[in-house]
A and B are shown apart, each in its own frame.
Chain A
Amino acid sequence: MAAAAASTYKDRQFLAVIGDEDSVTGLLLAGIGHVTDPPDAQRNFLVVDAKTENSEVERAFKSFTEERKDIAVVLINQHIAERIRHSVDTFTEPFPAVLEIPSKDHPYDPEKDSVLKRVRRLFGE
């Protein structure tokens, strides 16, 4: 089991982000942005604003979590995770790690975090 698990995360080296413009800009400044080689160039970030369709967010989330095998961590703004809450909650694989992060306009609410919800439930709070 351990050997199989090792091969699933050894090549994961990038972070991906789904977020509003400010969050994405900031994280890109930190240097996480990556575009894959030309034949099918894929970005590892998606800027979501009020006009972005939920289906597009969903597609990006699916592609980061299921299709791409080189992503170790998916960062997603909490208010955007809220829009595709079902997908986020049903994704329970350990890889990639899905992390809900606060954004500038939406302070962090621990009550909504899918992992923290599990933590709370385990301790019966």
Chain B
Amino acid sequence: MSGAVGREPVFPTRQSLGLMKAKLKGAEVGHSLLKRKSEALTKRFREITRRIDEAKQKMGRVMQIAAFSLAEVSYAVGGDIGYQIQESAKQARFRVRAKNENVSGVYLPQFESYTEEGVNDFGLTGLGKGGQQIQRCRETYARAVETLVELASLQTAFLILDEVIKVVNRRDINSELDELDREEFYRLKKVSNKKQRDNAAADAEILAARERAAEKAAQNGTPPVAEAEEPETTDVLGEQEDNDVIF
């Protein structure tokens, strides 16, 4: 923050000793809380990475099976159905929704797959032949996609956790610095507020005095020069430094 001094600038008084002690206590508690949070997150993180590894392996197998069932379909139908499928896809039947899971104050989204009822784009596909194979293939692929969705939520959780853990581990230092900054700023603001208030009060006083003097001058019929000679009964120790001298 301020130069490369390894020591807090402390004025040696009992009050600041108390302040410093409270600050140290706060910092220690904060640190241990953050540390616990970081540990909980890290634990979760490791679990997720392990599951990602497993899920990726599983995905390899599942996709292989699915590809095989598709090969069965093209064999049974006796031609390429890819084009037909692509043209008849209109509304997604298989969708996902996201819900939240809370891990130590971090929201991890989880995708959940569901099928939209009443949507069937491929009602006529395989009507001639190979309908059974197509049905089976659809089921296989639906299962495969479920695995993929599961993997996707793991992966998203992984990315978010990675980011959050980095932030939490860094926060020890940054938040402490921020707090010091805030304190200092608050103090300065207080000081300047007080100054402003004092100035305003002093101004009002001067104005009132001046008005009184003007009235008096009008009543006496004396020229306003007398005003300057009139002993102003302001305290010398007051805030205002220079009175305007009016002739």
Contact = CB atoms under 8 A, between A and B. Distances in A.
Nearest to A5: B107
A10 B98 contact: yes
Nearest to A110: B56
Interface stretch (A56-64, A80-88, A89-97): A89-97
B81 A25 contact: yes
Contacts of B153: 97
B138 A31 contact: yes
Contact of A119 (B53, B70, B111, B138): B53
A72 B67 CA distance: 23
Interface in B147-203: 148-149, 151-153, 155-156, 158-160, 162-163
A27 B98 CA distance: 20
Q: What's the interface size class on A, roughly?
A: 35 or more
B86 A22 contact: no
Interface residues of B, number: 53
Contacts of A123: 49
B23 interface: no
Contacts of B159: 92-94, 97, 115
Given A94-B156, A97-B156, A99-B152, A27 B53 contact: no
Most buried by B among A10, A30, A123: A30
B35 interface: no
A27 to B, nearest CB: 6
B223 to A, nearest CB: 71
A95 B108 CA distance: 12
Given A23-B67, A33-B90, A122-B162, 17 more contacts: A9-B98, A15-B149, A22-B82, A28-B85, A35-B89, A35-B91, A44-B92, A72-B152, A73-B152, A94-B109, A94-B156, A95-B109, A101-B59, A102-B59, A110-B56, A115-B155, A123-B49
The 9 closest A-B pairs by CB, nearest first: A33-B89, A31-B93, A30-B141, A34-B92, A31-B94, A97-B152, A108-B60, A104-B67, A73-B152
Interface of B: 49, 52-53, 56, 59-60, 63-64, 66-67, 70-71, 81-82, 85-86, 89-98, 100, 107, 109, 111, 115, 119, 121-122, 134, 137-138, 141-142, 144-145, 148-149, 151-153, 155-156, 158-160, 162-163
29 contacts: A2-B100, A13-B97, A14-B95, A15-B148, A22-B67, A25-B81, A26-B70, A29-B122, A29-B137, A29-B138, A30-B144, A31-B94, A31-B115, A31-B119, A33-B89, A34-B89, A43-B89, A72-B96, A73-B152, A94-B160, A99-B151, A102-B59, A102-B60, A102-B63, A102-B64, A103-B63, A104-B67, A115-B159, A116-B56
